[in-house]
């Protein structure tokens, strides 16, 4: 039989892991929603229009037609 303090300790670690996973799942869901919103907006815009995108902490200028496929790809990766 496992001593009660070890059971409690293990349970608390599992609960902490579960909370961390739930937090990450919520973060990914939010990111997915943000991607969807931006994609919907950009689909209605002139493809040659310039837009800005954050890449590795740097804001870069691109066109909508360059950014849209990358956003759709990122959205799929987040979904997976």
Percentages helix, strand, coil for the chain, rounded to the nearest 5?
70, 15, 15
Alpha helices in 2-63 (DSSP H): 4-43
The structure's pTM equals: 0.76
Mean pLDDT by 10 residues, the chain (80 residues): 90 98 97 96 96 93 96 93
CATH number of the domain at 4-79, out of 1.10.10.10, 3.30.1540.10, 1.10.287.370, 3.40.50.410?
A: 1.10.287.370
Model confidence pLDDT, tens digit, residues 60-80:
999 999 999 999 999 999 999
Distances (CA, A) of 5 to 10, 12, 18, 19, 55: 9, 11, 20, 21, 48
């Amino acid at each position: 039989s496992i001593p009660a303090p070890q059971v409690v300790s293990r349970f608390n670690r599992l609960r902490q892991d579960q909370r961390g996973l739930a937090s990450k799942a919520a973060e990914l869901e939010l990111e997915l929603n943000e991607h969807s919103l931006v994609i919907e907006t950009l689909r209605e815009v002139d493809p040659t229009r310039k837009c800005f995108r954050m890449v590795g902490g740097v804001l870069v200028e691109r066109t909508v037609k360059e950014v849209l496929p990358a956003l759709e790809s990122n959205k799929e990766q987040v979904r997976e």
